[in-house]
Structure formats: structure tokens, C-alpha cells
Structure 1
Amino acid sequence: MIKHHWRHGLTALAATLGLAACSLTPSNTQTQEASMPSTQAPVTSPNDQRQYQSLMLDNGLSVLLINDPNADKAAAAMNVSAGSQDESDQFPGLAHYLEHMLFLGTETYPDADAYQQFVAENGGSRNAFTASTDTNYYFDIDPRALEGGLDRFSHFFIDPLFTPDYMAREVNAVNSEYSSKLRNDGRRQLAAIRQAVNPAHPFSRFSAGNNETLPVKDPKLREAMLDFYQTHYRAGAMHLVVYGPQSIDQLQQWVKQDFADIPSGQGQQASTPTLFRDQDLPAELSIKPLKQLYQLQLLFPIPDPIQDYATQPVSYLANLIGHEGEGSILAWLKQKGWASSLSAGSQFSTRDESMFGINIELTAEGDQHIDEITAAVFKYIQLIRQQGIEQWRYEEQAQLAAQSFRFMEPSEPIQAVSQLAMQMARVPMKDVVQAPYMFTQYQPERIRTYLNQLTPEKLLRVHVSPNVKTDDIAPWFPADYRLTHDTLDLPTSHANLALPKANPYVADDLSLVEPGTAMAPKQLNEKPGLSLWHATDTSFAVPRAQVFVSLQSPVASENLKSRVLSNLLADWVMDEFNAPGYPARLAGLGYDAYPHARGITLTLRGYNQRQPILLKNLLEVLTQDEIKPDQFERIKQRQLRQLRNAAQDPLARQMMRALTPELIDPAWSEADKYHALEAITLEDLKTYRPQLLAQLHIQMLAMGNLSTEDAQQLATQVRQSLNPALAQSDIEPLKLRQIPTGAWHQAEQLDHNDKAVLLHIQGRNNAPAETARMLMLTHLQQADFFNSLRTEQQLGYVVFASPFPVLDTAGALYLVQSPSTDAAEIARRISAFMVEDQVRINQLNEATFKRYKESLLNNLLREDQRLSERGQRMWRAVAMGDTHFDRRERIAQALEDLTLSQFQAFYTDVLANQRGKLWLGTPVKDVEGLPGQPATPKLWPIHSIDSP
């Protein structure tokens, strides 16, 4: 798998690595070129009908304007080319702390929640992240409120208050964020990797910040923060993207009036020493994780690949090394039972340098053979040197990239603006959109330049395992580790490896069956055993299709053992088909097999031309391939590790996962699944597969660039392969536990240093009117809930309120995670907020309520941005029995009809416990103080839900 390469999403990378995200800034030469004044519009996809225009303000701010007349969401992002790498040693985490402080009021809008409240009232969201060499701020909003959003946003960079009274509070917030991730293995591993690089390089430093590195009583902290802001937050070091339905002229007018007062200047980027000194490599880093993880990471220093963005030599190598097809490193490792996944690509960039990483998820058996695995990797690298640098391979990658660009579908506006703002700092404006897809010229010498860095002498080998010996502890995120600098003595590899052959799945028929068509799904037939829904949809002008095949059987829902066997079977299908199916994924043909409560669903997505071949091959694997003993054991052990490691997941995720068994019948905890899986044998799975396939009802949805005949042919393939005979009525429906009226609580024994409380308020029923009221509840409260419990009361970093439907029944969820406040006190604060907020709700005027309602309606009825998004929405409708495909329209109508007085009466009912409330709390000793009686979910009333 190609992974962590810059062209696959800068925003996603930063989100993955959080504060430690290593931005991928180009060399200084490239940065200057990218920042030169230009009014040139970027090159865009032929499938992109939006209008782009760039401009440079007089203060040096580089701007990209995007007009989308059909946009029902506007967005903006500002990228500042400064991050944690640019702060001094005195206050680690200062750049991150500054990012937090900018949200807390400006001279023009002094209220600490003015920006957040305005965005929330107008149906938007906002966030920011601090990376190594970037800080990125972004928001989306109802287009009618874009002007007001830009005005408030711009003052972050003109007249922030940095109110002294909020400094201590926000240090607490930064510290809470730090505390919430102390048990995160990814953060701990990064902390250990920092110990292996040149200690004089900024990458070696702690960057998150906490109350020790940001001492609020030290007057120099405020001075340092102001100095960092005044030094780096200059217009010439910023890149702004604004997206909306307004004309380019209108967007330009707003940008000029709002952002012209940002101080001019280029900022300062200090030169840095080399990431690794001669004495730093080769090296071996052993890390002991909290989870049961077995990983091998081979890291090599390389020049930052952004300088070669137009020819993609690093992507070329990542494609070969990360290949998963026949003859690949991963295919051989799986045959040996030593690994389950492998990815390759650039990571940890630092403006001038980067690392090429080969990341391998090992099995427990593979953990004992890391020298042999390392030797096999170097054997494959040598094979590339000898045979792999060939023009036809480059041209194949270029063809696939060109197809992806030609039929590029828009991402969510908030994601697009954030990523483009980062991209603007790295490449010339003309390439800012197309850069991730560019393969302009085959340059074998540049490929060899990077390939020559992948040698044992330049290797940092990172071994993550519970079995390693350690002798040191990383600072701040306390990973146990050992660092040595001995040259590896690798054995001769006897791995049977081969470079990939030409890809047979590359599409050459990219025509549309009916240009511009968008039909609602219709049921083509309902013969015994199989129900087919179909919609021709070429409205996105892409030759792609979505196909869903839900295999439902009463065998799957018999008991916990059946559920665990369904999980194993779906995982086995994906593993068995991985090597032969990997070329399809490279060619833009995705597939999946996933378990659910009543069986397994197969999905296909991407270019439709070869989908019949892909479906045929996938069905043959499911029905005919042998389940091999070694393969079964590898998959079983991987699932056991995943279930065991779930106890180390982020606490908020654990809390939300704990809610599911309380509300859905049947559902089991991760611990229940673990114990059931331990007892499963190979013979159990071999017996289960034919039992499941012998008793099937199948639901299918085929939509996209498919005619009626195309869809029917796919259904015929499925019918002939599986011979389903059961009716839908033969399948046990899913069941929802209805929380009785009143308040109930449940203790959760979860392993984490923080405390947390989750409140779930369940709707009375699944009627559109009840759903509309529940949606309005969290829409009205989410900003105030965050501001009160997080900003003002400083309970913790993870604080949110959101809709939380379960099956087709609406609900609201409130969650607070705190490093210091016990569960009973958190619950008291949540309850106090709910009571106090009634005053605000009862004082709402009609105009304000209408504004909230309009923004919620805009979110609810947003047009689908991509075929995949529409396909998923239609599949959920099929799953919920919404065969008129109009449930969201009926909810919208109920919301339109909802009056302020009706909503106020509804909220009074909520406070009076007229709807079921379930409180979950951890740790157990603090739960007695939670509201309500102990939960008894087995006694709760149940109603059935049809869902595949």
C-alpha cells in the first residue's frame, strides 16, 4: 500500500499525526516560487466545473478563490507557514498554544465564543491543527453567512486579544489534550523516534505542550507568544482559500475588505541542521507499546520529495515497494505467516528533508523474524535497482493518475480549502490542484537518487513489540525504548519475490451510459432469494458505479459464535483476495467484505467497466477457495489482538463503543467477542461458511454508470454463484432497546488515566417529527455546551454534543473527558448545563430560532458531493426500509413545521425525563454519583428494525 505520501492528503496526514504531524513543506526555493504574485487560475480537472481565481493582496497575502454556484456549504482556510518547528526551546508547545488562544476573542469581536457561536448558529463547523511547519485554520458555514464568517475569521490574524484571563484556562486545555493522549501508542512511538534523530534538530523536541512547558505564571510566556505571533503570522507567510457560491468578484471584494489589514512580511524560517548526523545511522530503535502491537518500520532519510512533485519519483518507488499483489513483499510475508499489512511512502518531512518509511504490521510469529523480513525488503529493493526502473511502469502509474484527475470528484469544502491552503505554500499556483496527480516526465535518474538512499547504512529500524528489551523512557509521552547504533548483520534472503506485472484492471472504456442522468433507485425485481435496487446516475460525470451485495442468513444471527464467525469469514475473504485484487484497487476499482449482524456485505466501487470481472473473482473466492490453516490462525490472532487492544483506544471512542450493547439487540462487548473468538477453530469456520451460504436472502443496490441491463447482469452473477432462496421475512430483523422513561446509569470499567461521562438521550420513536426535534436539540446546544464545559469550566479537552441516532431512532449524545474531574462531578456539571440552558432556549426569539432552523435544514438537505456519498446514503435507505428514499425530506418537512413554542415544550419534557436517558461513566468508583437508577437493558422494551 502507498501510504503517507504527500499527494494522498496533507490534511489527513496532519490529522493522523496531530501536533506531531510533520508538514511537507518544500525547499526554500520552491516556497519562494509558490509565493510569487500571480493571478493565474490553477489547472483543474475537466470534470471540475467550479471557477478558480488567484490573487495577491497588497500586503502579500496569497489567495485562491473558488466559485461553485451549486455549493450549499461555504468554507475558508488559512494556512500559516509556521509550526512547532519554528518555536524556541524555551516553551515547547508554544505554537500549539497560540493556535488555541486565537479562538478566544479579538478586539473587533471580544467575546471568547463569538466566532464559534456564529459558525454554529449558521450550521457550520470549525477547527485548526498545529503541525511541524504549518498551522492550519479552517471552517465551513451556511453560504448566506460566509461574509460574517470571513469577517470574524480574518480578525484572528489582525487583532487577537490574547486575553490574560484566558491564558491559564487555555494552558489547561492544552494540558488536557496532552493528558488525553498519554496512553496513545502512536504518540509514544513518535516520542521515541524523536530520540533517534539529531538532538539539535527541532524535530527532536516535544511539540504538544502541557502545563509544565507552558508555565502561565512566567511573564515571559506571554511575551514569547506575542513574539511568535508577530514574527510568523505575516501575510507573506500565509495562504488563504475561500470557497462559496458567490461570484469571484464578490468573494474578492470580501477578501480584500477583511484581510487587507493583516501585517505584511514574509515571516522567518530559521535554518535547521541535518535531520540525521553521520553517527546517528544506522540505528535500531526498540519500543515497547501499551497495546499488543507488533510492527517493523524501516526509515531512511531522503530529500523532501516536494521538490519533485511534478515527476513523482518517490510515489513511483512507494507504488512498487508498497505493492500487495503476487510476488510482492507483503504476499511473501503473508505466505510465511509473518505480516498482515505493509505500506510505503514519505513521512516526517521537515521543509528540507523527509524520511522514506516502509511500515509492516507483523504477526506474533513474524515478530521473531525481523532480520529475515528486513533482508527480504532489501532483496526487493535490489530487484527494483536491477529491473524495476522502467518507462512502461512509470507510464502505467501516470495513466492511472491522469484518469483519477480527469474524473476527480469534489471533496467536502472544509477539507478542500484546508488541503489547498497547505498546497499553496508548496507548489506554484498553476499546479496547486493537479499536483497530487502529476506524472509529467519519466526521469530514471531522479528515481535512482531516492532509491540510492534506501540502504542498510542509512537505516533507522524501528521495532515495536511487547517482547523487546528496553533501557530508557522517552520524555513527555513515556515510551519504554532502547536505541543502539550497531550495523545490522542480515542473513541472505531466500524470499520468492517478483516485480508486479502490467495491471489487467486498467479501464479503457470511460464512456457514460446516459450522460447527466440521475435516477432514484427502483426495484427491478423481487424474485425469491434476491431483491435488486438500481439507479442509473451519471450526474457526477464519472464512469464509476457503486454495487452493494448484502448476504443475509438466519445462521448469522443465531448467537455470539455466529457473529464472531461472520467477522472471521469477511476478514478471510479480504485476506484471500488481497494479492489478486490489489491491482484492481490501484486501477481505481475498490472492493470490500464486511460483517454485520445478519451476515456479510460485499461492495464494489470505482470504474464500472471491469466490475463484472472483479465481482466474479470475489464470489469465486468466497465460495470456492480453501481456508488454509496458517492463514486462519494469522487472521484469528490479528482479530484477537484488535479486540484486546480496543481497551487502549481513546477513552471517548471506548465510551461510545460501550453504548452499543446497551441499545442494540443482539450486540456484544469487545471482551465478549474476544472470549468467543478464543474458542473458534479452523473446522468451525470451514463448517460455518457452507451453512451461511446455503441459507441466504440477498439485497442488492447497483447505482452509477450502469444501465438496467448492466445491473441485472450483476444480479444474475450473484444469483448463479450463491443460489439464494430465502425471503426477507426469513431473516431476523435487528432490534433496538428502548430506554424506559427516566434516567439510568451504567458503570464502565475502562483502562485510562482520564475520567469520562457520556449521556445519551433517546428519541421516543422513529417518527420524522421526533427526529427533527432531537436534531434541533444538539444543533442549538453544541456550541454552548463546548463553550461552557470546555472553555469556561475547563473540564477537559474532549467535550462535545452531537446527534447520535441508533438504527432509525434519533438520539442526542453529550460527552466530557477530563484529566482531573471525577465522573460524578462531570455528570453534575452536564446536568447543570442542561437546566441552565433552558433559560437561554426559553428566551430565544423567533428570528434566532429561524436562523438555527434554516442552517440545520441546509445541512440536512445538502446535495451529495460524490457518487460514493450518494451510494452510501441510498444503501442506508435500503437498509432502513426507506424504499421511497425520502426520509430526510420528511424529516426536513417536520423541521420546517416545528415552531419555537413546540421546541421549548419538547425541551421541558427532556429535562423532566420524559425521554429515556442513559448515563455511562468511568471510573466505576465515581459512577454512584451519576443520575438515575442502575441500567437494566435486558428488561428494556425492544422493537425490530430491518437492516442489512
Structure 2
Amino acid sequence: MLTHHLDNRHYLYSQLENGLKVILVEDQTSETCSVAATIGNGHFSDPADCLGLSHLLEHMLFQGNKKYKTVDAFDTFLSLHGGTVNAATGSEYSHYYFSVNNENLSTALDHFSHLLTQPLFEIESIKKEISAIDAEFSLKINDDLRRLYEVHKETSNPEHPFSQFSVGNASTLNTLSLKEVQQRLFALHQNQYVSHNMTLCIISPFDTQTCLELVKAHFGSFANRQAPHAAPLPALYLDEQLGIRIDIAPLKSARRLIVTFALPSMQHLYRTKPLCIISELLADEGPDGLLGHFKAKGFATNISVGGGIEGSNFRDFNVNLQLTEAGLANIDLMLETIFQYIEHIKQHNKIRYFDEKSTLLSQIWQFADAIKPTDEAISLSSSIFIYPTEHLIASEYILDKPNPAVVDEVLNFFTPENMRVKVVSPNPKTTFVSRWYQTPYNVSAIPSSLMQKLQNASCNPLLKLPEKNPFLSRNHSRIATDAQFIIPQQTFDTADFNVWFGQDNQFELPRGDCYVSFDCQAATLGVEAAATKKLWIALLNNHFQQRYYQANVAGLNYHLYSHQCGFSLHTSGFSANQLMFAHELTEQIHTFEDFNKHFEQVKHQQLQSLHNNLLNKPINRLFTRLSALMQQNTHTPLSMVNAIEKASIEQVYEVKSQMLNNRYIESLIFGNWHKTDAEQFSSSLYKQHQKFTGHGKLSRSVFDLSQQRSLLHSLPCNHPDAAVVIYYQSPNAKRRDTLLTILLEQLVSPVFFNFARQQAQLGYLVGSGYVPFNQHPGMAFYVQSPQYSAEYLIKTIRDFLQKFTVDLQQYQKNWNDIKQGVMKQLCQNDANLSMKSQRLWSALGNRDYAFSQNKDTANELTNIEFSDLMTFVKGLVIGKNTGELILYSDPNHKISASELSVAQVTDVSEFKKHTPLVE
């Protein structure tokens, strides 16, 4: 297998005697094991009279098996041993994946093998899981992505399995009797979940031979069987389904033009990657590219290129544009411009773009920052189905057969008669309504006059392909590290300006991260200032998007974003030229003022985003409101809407001046740089800073709930489901309370999930989580239910906690495992350089200037006994020094505060005005 010289891991590809293909990765730095299995079965195999069967099968594998009969036994085991598990059903593949502490890999594999190969499919469990799938369907019935996807399905070849309803619901899964569904599940499992149709990947610190023996022990007895030969798939689209326009009405405010070109599968061209070349040219956001041209005309604000559905014999290629009202009125002209640009690509010599792309892919591959191990395991187990053995690891990075002629061959599919034009807009004229998600849409043929114009499109002199990338560096060398800076040191220290510098000696990559945060007194002056700041940052990002698109392509990334006390800039990627790039961005933040050109567009975008936020599902809206209630300088979306609607261009200039004229700067430079590089960047930043007034670091206080009665807050939502979030604020922000809250969450999470989803069947969207605000610990329980009232949900959650307190003693036997799992989560080594930089930056935010949080956490955790957790939980339930804030949405029932013995919070601003703050 193709690996690179910096990859110090060992790989082994093997096929067991029974036909199971496995790839094993030995990574001695890994502190947990990550495992993924891919099965060559997805919803394409669903029978027409039982749609959603494959999805149901995925659910049923977690409902007990011949060895581990208890529902969610695997999930419970993993939660006690530092791991998690999940699964997903796609069109042609299904994925199952988990992580676990290293010492528990063998037992976890035993669970996993029985889960995959010996399910029980008990009738009562089938009934419950059909109900869960129906709740999942109901939960997402107003999801515009699903609604758009269904229209795509309904306008494809009805003989192709893609056209089928894949998720399933009570209607499709109850067509047959439960006994018949059980028989279908057994048959599907017996046919598809077989050794030759399954792959496995394990990433662990163990040597590959040891892992292989574990796989043989747990999967070797799996019967040697092939899946039935599948009939070839028909064409995805019929002739009459191409060269058409589809108008779609969304629920949320949206204006989009999506041009889809129908292609055959391109997986075999992975060594040439023609679609990568085409994507980058069409997606160029410079002033002379498609987006730049459309922005100048006021037609579009964003572009994304290349995504689309993909399968064994088909591939959609999308050009997706976010439109303005003017763009919506000029669809034909925009289509003509797209084909003019495609003509440019056809006529241009593309060898330089191959050279740039292969150089960058080679650099990314050679100096790759590690990805999340579970994601990598899924990717590798899937790759076994697609790529030859020698390219399993490097398939996404290989471009060793550059061939412009192949790009031209692929571009032969980019024709008007081979496209589908989707226009998403408010209130289009429609004649159809999709079956499951009730989406109004219309289908019409593209007029012959427009078709002819598109077929005859010639190069537009106003459009140009991107110039040579000025940000692409071909020299990435490692510097020698200085032991003095392995832990970041403060290299600039004043009352209003602090810079920290550190060097990485762990990952040996020519990469780094530079953070610059601006605390601005003006950001704390209320919702109007926060809203106008949001507009200013959006206008800057709009400017950066056009000016620095090529930097992103070359592996130099930036993120400019607002936070509650100001704003921050984060650059990342290759270290070569990055600090110069970061300096240029900070200069632009201070000097760019051409806001007039795109002010109305950006303002409309921000308002549309905030309005759409008000249409989110109730649980999301309740958590957004919780954030606004708990944090001093965080505001509700509705108040932000009102403030942005009133904002003028003059206010943007004024807020920019206010933000920059009185500020505090903190910066972290960490990675592959010399001290002199950091000093040069710091000096230039300080020289810039000296022109303005400074102040100290601003407080990130939160509101203190501990000395108040339990609080109740109602949030009206235009959604039929009732929803509840109960938030418990821990007594204080000391490390001990933080650890006790995390330990409790680790213990209660699987128990509550199993209770709410399986036993009480409250709904599909249920759970609990650790929810800190500005480092003050807390946890939340949440439920969204299509059938129960909010009052019932609140009482049920509270009753659960009362019972859990009584039953808590039974978990004492697992105490060491729970502590060990939390210890590994909190104190594990950084998985990659980006995570290390983020951890160090977070430490600065928490004023942990010794960067000793891991060591201090380990020491504190060692001293916590089970009796301490018992005391903590009892205090939480009876409200001793613990704040309880209940948020709910219920379209059918209003809750009486007196019945729940709580105080009502009716006005957010009044609540904040009269509630004390705590650090």
C-alpha cells in the first residue's frame, strides 16, 4: 500500500479465510481504538413493499443479539469504557463504527461481531424501532435539504432504486405485519451481512499481527458466504428528465440556482481527478471568475461546486449558487454565463492546473495533519470496496496521471441537454407536491430558444480562468525546535497586548496556527453594537472571500469570526508564508472600508440567516435561547433581526471605528516557526495596535442561577412538536465541580438515552450533554416529542433524575472504569497539530498560563471518590447550590409555573438586568 515517509504507522491488509477483508493500522500514539465496518448494502436493496427496511435493520442491530441480549448493551459497555458507537445507512453501503479504550478492544470486538452477525430481531423491538424511525421522519419533515432531496428522487428514473423513499416511516414499515417485517429483516441480513460483503478497519496502538489475531478470533467463525449477485442498475435519469427546469418552494427563506450535470461514475479516474480540476476552476471566487462576475452584477453571494449524489454507475456534478432577488430574475442570463465559462475551460490549456493540484495534493499527503480516527476508519473500510489494495491509503491524494484530454472528455457531459436546473425560491408556481415531505415543485422543459443559446455559448471576455496561484509554496521545510518554546512562552506582555509563542515538537509538520483575538469594549454595549459588528465582520469576510480564495486553495486557511466580547482571526495550514498572510489580513481588518458595494447584499444574507434560525427545530431554538439567557453579551436571534434591520452603512463605519479604537489583543503563534518569525509578526501587529487606545481583557461572566428558585421560560415555536431543555448549572466553576459534572454526564448519558428513547418512547430526539458556558460547568437534558406535552416531558425527566439518584449506588462497581474513561478523554494526547493549537488557545482563554490543565485535571480526578459524585447528584436533584433552568416549547399547552414550583422568566432582558453574574 502507498504510504508516505512521515507516516510512522504500520498497515496490514488481509483477507480472512471466510472472505472478510480487513485493513489494520498500527498507530502507537493512539490512546483509543477506532473500529469501522462497512457492509455493501444500503437502501437500494429495499423491497418496494417495505421501504426503509435497510434503515430499520441498522436500528435493529443495536436491539440485542444472541450473546448480548440487552438492548443497547454495546452502547452501555462503551460508555463505561471511554467510547461511543454509531451507524449510518447510505444508498449502497452501511457503516457501523465505534471507539473504545485500548484495554477493552477485545471485548468490544466481541460485542461488535455479535451485533453485526447474530441479531435477535424480536417482534416487540421491531415495533419500537418502527416507532423510532417514524419519529425520526417526523422530526425532519420540515428539513429543506430532505425536501429538496425528495424532489430530486421523484424526478429521477422510477426504475432506479435512488427514486425510492429511503428513510422509511410508520406508513411504509407497517404495510406488512410485524411477523412479515421480521422475516424480511432476517432475509436481508442473511443475504447481505455476509463475510464477502463486509469490510473492517481497526486503528489502534497494537501491532497489526496482534490485531489480525483479534479479528480472526471474533470474526473468523463468521460463515464464508457471498452476497447474491445484484442486477445492474438502470440509468439514473430518463431522457425526458434531462434538459429540464425544476422549481421548488422551500420552507425557509432561500434563493438558489443548482445546475446539475449527469455523469457516469468517475471513481475509476481517481489517478487523474478530472472533476477536481473542473471544480476548482468553476469555484474560483476571484473577481474574474463566475462568482466574482455574478457578485459584480448583484446576482449571487456564494458558490459551491462539485457536490452531488454518487453511486456505482452514476455521479451528479452540481454548480450551486446562492442568489439575490436580482439573480432570481436573471436565471437565463446566469445559465448562459456558466456555459460561457465552461467554454473557457474547454479552450484553455489545463496542464498548469494539473501541476498546481498535484503539487498541493502531494504536499497535503506528505504533511497531512491527522484526521479523527473514527472518520479515517470509516473511510478506509469503505475504500476497500472501491480502490485497488496498493492505493487504499492514498487514493484521495494521488494525481500521477495528469491528462487534460480526460478533462475535455468529461466536459463533453457538461451540455445543456444533459443538465437539470433546480431553482429554489419563495412562492414559485408549482403543479406537484412530493409524496412524503409535501414539497411543492414544478417541472418544465428548458425552452428551445434558451437551449440553443446555451449550446452556442462562446467565451465571454469578462470572464477569466484563475491566474497562477501566488500563495502556493513549493518549499515546506521543518525548523529545528528550541526546548524553551515547547510550552508556549509569553513574548510580548503589556496591559492591553499579549503574544504567546510556541513550537511543535510532536507532529513534525511544516504547519502552524496563528490566533489573534480582539476584545472590544464596544462589543459589550448592547444588541445594536453586536448586530452591527456582525454586519461588519460579514462584510470583511465577503471581501476576503474574493481576495484570498487562492490562499485557501493553496493550503492557507483563515477564519474571521465574531465572539461575545469582540472578534477573532485564526489562520492555519502550511507555515510557509502564513504569518505574512495573517499580517495582511489584520491590515485589511484595519484599512478596508469599501462597504457600500455589497452592504445591502450582506445585510440581506444576515437577515435571511437569522430569520431561518427562527424556523429551526424547537430543540435547536431552545439551546440558542439558553445561550442568550446565560451569557451577558449573547443576544436572541429575534433581537438581532430587529437591530440589523435598522442598521445603516454609516453605523457600520461607526462600529468599525469603535471596535478598533479601544481594544485588547491576545495572540498565540504555535507551530513550525522560528522565534524571529513570531517576533516580526508581533512587532508589526503591535505597531498597528499602538495607534489605538487599549484596555484589559474583558470578563466572560455568566449569570448565576445557584441562589434562585428553579426557573421556567417559554419559547413559542411554529412547530407541532413539544420540546424541553432542562439545564442544571453546577455550583461553581472550580475544577472539582467541572469534573463531577463531566463524570455525571458520562454515567447518566446512555442511561437517560435508553430510558427516553426505548422505555418511555418520548421521541427520536432525546439526550443529555455536558454544557459549559464560559467554562462554568453545567449539563442539560433534552427531549423533542411529537406526542407528549412539554409538562409531561418535564415531569418525566425530573422523575428519571429522582430515580437515578436512588439507583446510583449500583454504578459504584464501574467507578474506576468511568473515571478512567473520563481521564482519557480529558487528558489524552492531542490527535493532531490543529487540536494541540486549539487546546493551547483555549488554555489562554481560561487564563491557564502554565498550560497545566491536563496534569491538574488528572491530579484532581484521582482524588474524587464515588461518594463525592453521590453527594453532587443529590445536591443537583434537590437544588442545593445548583441552578435549574427549564426551557420549553409547546404549541398546545401552556405550563403553570406554580404547578411546577418554579419562577417564570418572561423577558430575557429583564432577567439579565436583575440576575447576578459569576466568573
User: TM-score under structure 2 normalisation?
Assistant: 0.95
Aligned with 1:120 (options 68, 75, 79): 79
Aligned with 1:934 (options 879, 903, 908): 903
Q: Which residue does 1:593 correspond to in 2?
A: 560
Aligned with 1:83 (options 42, 45, 53): 42
How many Å separate the matches in 1 of 2:565 and 2:608? Answer: 24
How many Å separate the matches in 2 of 1:724 and 1:138? Answer: 54
Does 1:870 pair with 2:836?
yes
Aligned with 1:204 (options 141, 145, 163): 163
Identity %: 26
What are the within-5 Å matches in structure 2 for residues 650-665 of structure 1? 650-665=617-632
Does 1:603 pair with 2:570?
yes
Q: 1:773 and 1:174, CA in 2 relative to 1: closer, same or farther beyond 3 A? A: same
| Alpha-carbon distance, 1:631 to partner | 0.5
What are the within-5 Å matches in structure 2 for residues 296-335 of structure 1? 296-335=257-296
How many Å separate the matches in 2 of 1:743 and 1:254? Answer: 52
3-state secondary structure, aligned to 2:306: strand
3-state secondary structure, aligned to 1:816: strand
Does 1:213 pair with 2:213?
no
Q: Which residue does 1:234 correspond to in 2?
A: 194
Aligned AA (2:207): S
97-106 or 532-541: which moved more? 532-541
| Alpha-carbon distance, 1:515 to partner | 5.2
**Long gaps (5+) in structure 2:** 906-910
Aligned AA (2:467): K
Asked if structure 2 preserves the Cα contact closer than 8 Å seen for 1:589 and 1:605, the reply is yes
CA deviation string 1:484-524 (max 9, x = no partner):
12346446796721001111111233112225967122111
Does 1:225 pair with 2:225?
no
Q: Which residue does 1:93 correspond to in 2?
A: 52
Asked if structure 1 preserves the Cα contact closer than 8 Å seen for 2:255 and 2:323, the reply is yes
Asked if structure 1 preserves the Cα contact closer than 8 Å seen for 2:516 and 2:668, the reply is yes
How many Å separate the matches in 2 of 1:863 and 1:878? Answer: 18
Q: Which residue does 1:31 correspond to in 2?
A: none
How many Å separate the matches in 1 of 2:86 and 2:656? Answer: 46
Q: Which residue does 1:4 correspond to in 2?
A: none
How many Å separate the matches in 1 of 2:110 and 2:502? Answer: 43
| Alpha-carbon distance, 1:573 to partner | 1.2
Aligned AA (2:123): P
3-state secondary structure, aligned to 2:559: strand
297-306 or 892-901: which moved more? 892-901
Does 1:470 pair with 2:430?
yes
Q: Which residue does 1:919 correspond to in 2?
A: 886
Q: Which residue does 2:243 correspond to in 1?
A: 282
Aligned with 2:2 (options 43, 60, 63): 43
How many Å separate the matches in 1 of 2:728 and 2:833? Answer: 33
3-state secondary structure, aligned to 2:598: helix
| Alpha-carbon distance, 1:327 to partner | 1.2
3-state secondary structure, aligned to 1:123: coil
What are the within-5 Å matches in structure 2 for residues 839-878 of structure 1? 839-845=806-812, 847-878=813-844
Does 1:506 pair with 2:472?
yes
What are the within-5 Å matches in structure 2 for residues 404-443 of structure 1? 404-443=364-403
How many Å separate the matches in 2 of 1:916 and 1:932? Answer: 14
Aligned with 2:314 (options 350, 353, 378): 353
| Alpha-carbon distance, 1:691 to partner | 2.6
| Alpha-carbon distance, 1:872 to partner | 1.3
3-state secondary structure, aligned to 1:649: coil
What are the within-5 Å matches in structure 2 for residues 243-282 of structure 1? 243-268=203-228, 269-282=230-243
Aligned AA (1:120): S
Q: Which residue does 1:820 correspond to in 2?
A: 787
Asked if structure 2 preserves the Cα contact closer than 8 Å seen for 1:98 and 1:225, the reply is yes
Does 1:390 pair with 2:357?
no
Asked if structure 1 preserves the Cα contact closer than 8 Å seen for 2:307 and 2:318, the reply is yes
Asked if structure 2 preserves the Cα contact closer than 8 Å seen for 1:295 and 1:359, the reply is yes
Does 1:687 pair with 2:648?
no
Asked if structure 2 preserves the Cα contact closer than 8 Å seen for 1:755 and 1:922, the reply is yes
How many Å separate the matches in 1 of 2:48 and 2:461? Answer: 47
3-state secondary structure, aligned to 2:7: coil
How many Å separate the matches in 2 of 1:935 and 1:427? Answer: 60
Q: 1:329 and 1:838, CA in 2 relative to 1: closer, same or farther beyond 3 A? A: same
Does 1:617 pair with 2:584?
yes
Aligned AA (1:62): K
Asked if structure 1 preserves the Cα contact closer than 8 Å seen for 2:487 and 2:502, the reply is yes
How many Å separate the matches in 2 of 1:941 and 1:668? Answer: 16
825-834 or 99-108: which moved more? 825-834
Q: Which residue does 2:109 correspond to in 1?
A: 150
Aligned AA (1:913): G
Asked if structure 2 preserves the Cα contact closer than 8 Å seen for 1:516 and 1:541, the reply is no
3-state secondary structure, aligned to 1:450: helix
| Alpha-carbon distance, 1:296 to partner | 0.7
97-106 or 808-817: which moved more? 808-817
How many Å separate the matches in 2 of 1:271 and 1:88? Answer: 16
Asked if structure 2 preserves the Cα contact closer than 8 Å seen for 1:288 and 1:480, the reply is yes
| Alpha-carbon distance, 1:240 to partner | 0.3
CA deviation string 1:800-840 (max 9, x = no partner):
11111110111111111112111111112211211121233
Asked if structure 2 preserves the Cα contact closer than 8 Å seen for 1:78 and 1:239, the reply is yes
Q: Which residue does 2:31 correspond to in 1?
A: 72
What are the within-5 Å matches in structure 2 for residues 416-815 of structure 1? 416-487=376-447, 489-490=449-450, 496-514=462-480, 519-527=486-494, 529-723=496-690, 725-729=692-696, 732-741=698-707, 742-815=709-782
204-213 or 224-233: which moved more? 224-233
Asked if structure 1 preserves the Cα contact closer than 8 Å seen for 2:78 and 2:108, the reply is yes
Does 1:892 pair with 2:858?
yes
3-state secondary structure, aligned to 1:928: coil
Q: 1:639 and 1:599, CA in 2 relative to 1: closer, same or farther beyond 3 A? A: same
Q: Which residue does 1:377 correspond to in 2?
A: 338
How many Å separate the matches in 1 of 2:701 and 2:153? Answer: 49
Aligned AA (1:647): L
How many Å separate the matches in 1 of 2:311 and 2:431? Answer: 29
How many Å separate the matches in 2 of 1:315 and 1:326? Answer: 21
CA deviation string 1:725-759 (max 9, x = no partner):
54443x54232001134422111112223221111
Asked if structure 2 preserves the Cα contact closer than 8 Å seen for 1:696 and 1:724, the reply is no
Aligned AA (1:396): E
How many Å separate the matches in 2 of 1:701 and 1:612? Answer: 12
CA deviation string 1:221-246 (max 9, x = no partner):
22222111111111111110012112
Asked if structure 2 preserves the Cα contact closer than 8 Å seen for 1:179 and 1:754, the reply is no
3-state secondary structure, aligned to 1:760: strand
How many Å separate the matches in 1 of 2:41 and 2:896? Answer: 46
Does 1:103 pair with 2:62?
yes
Asked if structure 1 preserves the Cα contact closer than 8 Å seen for 2:44 and 2:161, the reply is yes
| Alpha-carbon distance, 1:724 to partner | 5.5
Aligned AA (1:54): Y
Asked if structure 1 preserves the Cα contact closer than 8 Å seen for 2:583 and 2:681, the reply is no
Asked if structure 2 preserves the Cα contact closer than 8 Å seen for 1:772 and 1:892, the reply is no
3-state secondary structure, aligned to 2:359: helix
Asked if structure 1 preserves the Cα contact closer than 8 Å seen for 2:710 and 2:902, the reply is yes
- Aligned CA-pair RMSD: 1.8
How many Å separate the matches in 1 of 2:691 and 2:92? Answer: 56
Aligned AA (1:683): E
How many Å separate the matches in 2 of 1:600 and 1:474? Answer: 43
CA deviation string 1:143-165 (max 9, x = no partner):
11111111000112221111111
Aligned AA (1:485): A
Asked if structure 2 preserves the Cα contact closer than 8 Å seen for 1:556 and 1:566, the reply is yes
How many Å separate the matches in 1 of 2:236 and 2:640? Answer: 45
